[in-house]
Every structure is written in C-alpha cells, then in structure tokens.
Amino acid sequence: MLSIADILNEVGLDATERIKQNLVDADRIATSGTYQSVQYKVVGDLSLITLTIEANKNIVYLEQGRKPTQKGSKGSTILFDAIVKWIEAKGIVADIDNERLAYAITNKINREGYEGTKGLYTDVLNDDFIKKVSEQLGRNITTQLANGINSNPTTSSGDI
C-alpha cells in the first residue's frame, strides 16, 4: 500500500507533467523558463504533509492574458526584458534591431493587452483534481484504518 507521501508525489508528478504538456501543446514555450519552473514538492511529517505545485508568475499571464497598462503608466521594464528574451529565443528576424522590435511589441501590449491561452494550468488544477486527490487519500486512510483495526485485537474492554 502506498503512503500518503507516495500518493501526493504521484499526483504532483502527474499534475506538473500535464501542465508542462499543456504549455508544449499550446506552443507557449520560448525561453523554457516557465516550463522549467513548473514543479511540485511534498513536505511534512506524520502530523501534517502538504503538496505544493508551483511555477513562476509568467504562467498566470500566459493563461489569463494581460490587460492594457493604465493611462499615465509606462509599464515596467520587466515586460520589455521578457520580450527581448522571447524574440531571441524564437529567432525572430526583423528589419529593425531586437531592442526596437521589443519596444514596439511592449508598447502594443501596454496599449492593447493580450489574450491568454485558457487551460494551461486550470485544466489540471481544478475541482476535479481536488476531488481525485481527496478520494485517493480517503481510500488509503480507510484501508490503513481497516487494516489497523483488523490486525489489532480490541482491548479487554472492547474499546477501539
């Protein structure tokens, strides 16, 4: 029988592999930074054990998109720097240098925003995921309790 940690490790690995595959299928990998950041960890002891699935914040923008920058704000250099890396990773060649191209793309995104790719992580980490994990853990705990009761005769008072 698998331990709770084993179950959470299996679930974490499956979830992260599915999220990564969603990124590949949607062609949302350029520098592979977000792809590589998708990971899980299981930590704890006998009293508390947790599964954490994490990725860098770019995955939120990839899925949810980005609204235009508010009037009067220039935006940040973070987007510009990311666009420069994206241009280089994609091997995009234009009649202007990469920085000017990145500046033009950044300005367009700041003006208009962009639409995300739905389901990159929310198709995996959702209510069905929680239900599946809860059911697996419930079956495991029930089996452990049943095995413990069956293998440990009651005390003379009959208490369990």
Residues 56, 121 contacting (CB under 8 angstroms): no
Instruction: Quick: pLDDT tens for 110-153.
Output: 999 999 999 999 999 999 999 999 999 999 888 878 887 766 55
The answer, yes or no, to whether residue 109 has pLDDT greater than 70, is: yes
Higher pLDDT pick, 53 / 70: 53
Instruction: Write the DSSP symbol of residue 154.
Output: P
pTM (2 d.p.): 0.82
**pLDDT at 152 (0 to 100):** 55
Instruction: Write the DSSP symbol of residue 30.
Output: S
What distance in Å separates the CA atoms of residue 90 and residue 45, rounded to the nearest whole number?
Answer: 44
What distance in Å separates the CA atoms of residue 82 and residue 54, rounded to the nearest whole number?
Answer: 20
| CA dihedral of 132, 135, 10, 2, whole degrees rounded to 10 | -170
User: Residue 20 contacts by C-beta under 8 Å, 6 or more apart in sequence?
Assistant: 35, 38
